[in-house]
Structure formats: C-alpha cells, structure tokens
C-alpha cells in the first residue's frame, strides 16, 4: 500500500451536523418564497484532483481514490447523487455559509448554489422531479430548492429539538428529532407538520430511510430498528436476539436489490444486516479498530458495502456474501468522513468536512 503525506492539517476538527438550540421559542410556521438570488459559480479551473491508488487482494480488486478540493473553505457533509445531471450534491455545514455545492462528475467542476435566508445546510434529499429538500439545523428550517428555476421556499420547523435526519416519500418529508424522541412529518401538499413519538422511551431516533414498499425505517440509538407505515401509522420495533445488541447504531442503508438493510454500529467496528422478511439480524465485524467509529454506507456495483470510518482516514469495504472486509485509505490525514453515496457506475463518493473536499473511490480498471 502506497504511503502518502496529507496536504491538510493534522489538527482534529469536529463538524457536527446538528446544532442544539438551547432556548425555547414559540415557533409559527413561516413560508418564505424566494424566486431569485440563487447564484451559481463555475470553478472549473480551481478544481485540481489529487490521486492515490490503494490496492489490496480483496476480490482481486484494486481501487483508485481521487480527491477534489473545494474552491473555498467549506465543511461538506452529506453527498447525494443526481442521476439526471450525473452530479454530486452536498450541503455545506460551515457556519453562515448558506450554500449547497454541486459537483459535475464528467467535467469535474464545482458549482456553488447560494440559498438566501439560511445559515448552514446539512442533510439533503432529491425528489423525483430533481428538486431537493434540505435541513438548516442552525435556524430550524426545512428548505425546498429547485435548481432549474432557482426558486427556494423555507419553512420554519416547529420544534426546539435537535434536527438530525431527513427522508422523502411521495407525499411527505420525514425529519427526526432524537433528543426528544420525535418523528416529524411535513405534508408537502397541506404544508402542515405532524409529530409522533417513538414507542420506546428515550429511543432517540437517529437515522431514517424508505423502502420500495413505501415503509419508513428508522434506527433508534437505543439499539432498535423501527418500521413505520405512513398510511396506518402503525409502528413495529425490531431488536437483535441471542445476546447480540446494537450498542450505538448510527446510520442505515437500504439494499434495493435484495430488500434488506445495513446498520452501522458506531459503538464498535461492525455492521449489522437486517432482514425484514423474518425480522432477524446478522453481525459483520470489520477491521478491529476502536477509533474507527463506522458511520454512513453505500453499495457499489458488485454489492460490496463501503462504510465511512469517521475518525480515521479510511473507508471499510465489506463483502456481505463472505463477511470479508478490508479498508481503503483516504489521502487526507483527517477527513472526518461521515456520509457516502454511489453514482450510476457504482463508484463511491465521500465528503470530507475536515478536508474541504469531495472524494471518489473507483475500481482501478475504470
């Protein structure tokens, strides 16, 4: 494995994607329509990727890691792939940045999208029409941005809690508030919020996704996974059996091909698979590194699961068929990578809030 020297500082920085609001404020839902003032800047000449190859004997596959430095100081956090434009969207969690970055994969260009009225943008999710929803946790805003018309609407989220996760279905936006055990539902048509409590006291709902049947799936930090029927609002919780526990689950990834889920275990270097057909769990140990702290996940075209290792400059790779795992090195010494996504070719993209960069992992042959 080739050794590299990072271009970035060794000073550890922490960029939380949630910011607590310590004061209770009676909140009225305010919708602010913004029809102009979104600016896009082309940074083609400023984008200079650095290359690092990490090769190992794992399914006889070698990988090439490329990092793309953002043109300005930023804290990119939650990358999302846009199939229509073959681009990566990522919110900027740097305080008072008020922007979303778009990276065009083919041209390797960054575009900055300024969102007036926002402080920082953390979680984003693309709708089926190519527009996006996002959370500004600092100002308690839910935003809807149309990059084609440059229109934005901002809605005040009526909570004093910490806003953590976001997911979409055909009718609603779902938001988690872990510190007060709440699930919030925003009806896109009526523009109203509804709040639900998780069944387990102090369950702390921390991660959310949807499946192909329309169910909402939520990971609770207490060590359970919750299925929510958005029509009947029935909730069912599942826990591992046989003296196996989820110590601190942090993220969930749905495998659309298999219909199963993966849950990263932040409390130890492991990932759990959950099989909804029979309600069972399977534990996959990763490389034993107590400092790794597994986080977000993505699947490549071979079905391998890539897992961000938050506090080290590595990403784990798990063969879910054999249980084998290995790691890919990130050239930056302190990327603080939390979240991953995959593109149409199965390449794995990661954001580096500690390195002001986006990165991609490709098979060497590509």
Query: pTM of the prediction?
Result: 0.84
Beta strands in 149-288 (DSSP E): 151-156, 165-168, 172-177, 182-187, 192-197, 205-210, 216-220, 224-228, 235-238, 249-255, 260-265, 270-275, 280-285
Residue 78 is encoded by which pair of tokens? 């939650």
- When mean pLDDT is compared across 32-41, 100-109, 112-121, the lowest value belongs to 32-41
Nearest to 184 by CA among 205, 201, 203: 205
The DSSP bridge partners found for residue 128 are none
Does residue 282 sit within a domain? yes
**pLDDT(9) > 60:** no
Tokens 């050794």 identify what position?
Answer: 3
**pLDDT tens, 301-360?**
999 999 999 889 999 999 998 898 889 999 998 999 999 999 999 999 999 999 999 999
**Residue 45: strand, helix, or coil:** helix
Does residue 6 sit within a domain? no
Does residue 138 sit within a domain? no
Does residue 207 sit within a domain? no
Describe the chain by its helix, strand, coil percentages, rounded to 5.
0, 45, 50
Tokens 């979240």 identify what position?
Answer: 339
**pLDDT(159) > 90:** yes
**pLDDT tens, 263-316?**
999 878 899 999 999 999 999 998 777 778 899 999 999 999 999 998 899 999
Q: How confident is the model at residue 67 (pLDDT cuts 50, 70, 90)?
A: very high
Please count the structural domains in the chain: 1
Contact 99, 145 (CB under 8 A): no
Radius of gyration of the chain (CA): 20
Q: Distance between CA atoms of 112 and 46, rounded to whole angstroms? A: 13
At 70, which CATH number? 2.130.10.10
**pLDDT(189) > 80:** yes
Q: Distance between CA atoms of 132 and 219, rounded to whole angstroms? A: 23
Does residue 271 sit within a domain? yes
Using a pLDDT cut of 90, give the percent of the chain over it. 73
Does residue 302 sit within a domain? yes
What's the 3-state SS for 231-261?
A: CCCCEEEECCCCCCCCCCEEEEEEECCCCEE
In the DSSP assignment, the letter for residue 76 is B
Query: What average pLDDT does range 194-218 have in this prediction?
Result: 97
Q: Distance between CA atoms of 262 and 282, rounded to whole angstroms? A: 9
Does residue 287 sit within a domain? yes
pLDDT of residue 292: 86
Q: Which domain holds residue 356?
A: 45-74+240-366
Name, in order, each residue with C-beta under 8 angstroms of 102's C-beta and a sequence gap of 6 or more. Answer: 82, 85, 87, 88, 89, 110, 111, 113, 147
- Better-predicted residue by pLDDT, 16 or 136: 136
Nearest to 188 by CA among 253, 115, 131, 271: 131
Does residue 355 sit within a domain? yes
Query: What average pLDDT does range 173-187 have in this prediction?
Result: 97
Query: What average pLDDT does range 12-41 have in this prediction?
Result: 30
């Amino acid at each position: 494995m080739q050794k590299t020297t990072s271009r970035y500082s060794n000073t550890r920085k922490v960029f939380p994607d949630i910011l607590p609001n310590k004061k209770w404020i009676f909140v009225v839902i305010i919708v602010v329509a913004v029809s102009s003032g979104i600016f896009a800047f082309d940074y083609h000449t400023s984008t200079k990727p650095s290359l690092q190859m990490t090769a190992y004997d794992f399914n006889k596959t070698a990988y090439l890691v490329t990092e793309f430095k953002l043109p300005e100081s930023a804290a990119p956090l939650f990358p999302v792939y846009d199939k229509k434009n073959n681009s990566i969207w990522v919110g900027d969690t740097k305080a008072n940045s008020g922007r979303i970055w778009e990276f065009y994969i083919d041209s390797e260009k960054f575009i900055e999208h300024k969102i007036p009225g926002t402080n920082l943008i953390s979680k984003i999710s693309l709708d089926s029409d190519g527009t996006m929803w996002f959370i500004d946790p600092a100002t308690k805003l839910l935003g809807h941005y149309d990059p084609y018309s440059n229109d934005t609407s901002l809605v005040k989220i009526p909570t004093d809690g910490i806003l953590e996760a976001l997911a979409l279905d055909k009718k609603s936006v779902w938001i988690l508030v872990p510190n007060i055990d709440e699930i919030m539902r925003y009806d896109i048509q009526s523009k109203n919020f509804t709040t639900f409590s998780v069944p387990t006291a102090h369950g702390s709902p921390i991660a959310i996704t949807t499946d192909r049947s329309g169910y909402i799936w939520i990971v609770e930090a207490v060590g359970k996974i919750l299925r929510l029927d958005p029509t009947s609002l029935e909730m069912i919780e599942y826990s591992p059996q046989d003296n196996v526990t989820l110590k601190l689950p942090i993220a969930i990834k749905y495998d659309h091909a298999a219909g199963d889920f993966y849950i990263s275990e932040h409390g130890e270097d492991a990932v759990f698979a959950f099989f909804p057909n029979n309600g069972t769990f399977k534990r996959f140990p990763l490389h034993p590194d107590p400092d790794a702290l597994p986080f977000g996940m993505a699947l490549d075209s071979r079905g391998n699961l890539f897992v961000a290792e938050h506090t080290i400059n590595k990403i784990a790779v798990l063969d879910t068929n054999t249980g084998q795992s290995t790691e890919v090195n990130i050239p930056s010494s302190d990327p603080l990578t939390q979240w991953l996504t995959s593109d149409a070719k199965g390449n794995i993209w990661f954001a580096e809030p500690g390195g002001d960069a986006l990165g991609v992992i490709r098979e060497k042959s590509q």
